[in-house]
Amino acid sequence: MTAFVAGATGYTGREVVRCLAAAGARVVAHVRPDSPRLEEWRSRFGAMGAQVDTTPWNAALLAATIAAVRPDVVFCLVGTTRRRMRHSPKDPFGRPLETYDCVDHELTAMLTRACVMADVSCRFVYLSAAGTGPKARTRYGQARWRAEEAVRSSGLPWTIVRPVIISGPNRGEWRPLERAAAVLGDAALRLLSHLGFPGPLRRFASIDAQALAAALVRASQDPLCVGRVLQRSDL
């Protein structure tokens, strides 16, 4: 199997690269050409047995890369955070250039277009989030919904995965509130399960990058997951 992983340097992305490489897949890990840690990622992914690709985020250029790589699966794991937006370069009006819509939605849509332009038969696996929907109240949820719509309307065989909280002690970016919510929330959910109510634990428990990566890779190989939106209880 050959896999192209966009968003490979993220918390989940690097675990997907590791999981695929350990299973013997040919893995192409996409890293932004302007990444200040590019050489570090070349070394880290190279040690895993993966190849690094630095194609700029441009639909035509990405299409050429996809056509050359001919992946069986494309993983789209891109996304930004509020912290990154605060530190993002600003436009002349003081607005951040890196927003949920620009990254989570537009880059996902661009990658689907690139796959279609490349005329390669590949599964498209998109990592979305719980709470995404047409009536989402947050900009994050709205951008993720638009990204999902781009995936669904692409004509590609797709799978969308919606975890609740992705958290773990080895996350590089410090997120104390998110980590506390995961730990305390999971404890409460386990208590409910012990009291005879296992449903909430299956539906709302947090998940770490290793477990999520394994679930994403499994879903990418399961024909029953084509055209499905997988919730936390499906992982």
Q: How many helices (H) and strands (E) does the chain have?
A: 10, 7
The per-residue pLDDT for 36 is 92
The per-residue pLDDT for 97 is 60
- 183 alpha carbon, distance to own chain's centre: 22
The per-residue pLDDT for 194 is 72
Instruction: Look at the domain 2-166+207-234 and name its fold.
Output: Rossmann fold (3.40.50)
3-state secondary structure of 123: strand
pLDDT along the chain (235 residues), means of 10: 97 96 98 95 97 97 98 94 58 62 92 97 96 89 95 98 81 59 64 71 78 97 97 90
Nearest to 114 by CA among 156, 162, 160, 72: 156
Planar angle of CA 96, 97, 100, nearest 5 degrees: 85
Q: Is 224 exposed, middle or buried (0-12, 13-18, 19+ CB in 10 A)?
A: exposed
Taking the C-alpha atoms of residue 4 and residue 119, their distance in angstroms, rounded to an integer, is 15
Both tokens of 123, joined, read 């599964």
The per-residue pLDDT for 198 is 78
The per-residue pLDDT for 166 is 82
Taking the C-alpha atoms of residue 66 and residue 226, their distance in angstroms, rounded to an integer, is 20
Q: Is the whole-model pTM more than 0.85?
A: yes
Both tokens of 165, joined, read 């909280």
The domain locations on the chain are 2-166+207-234, 169-206
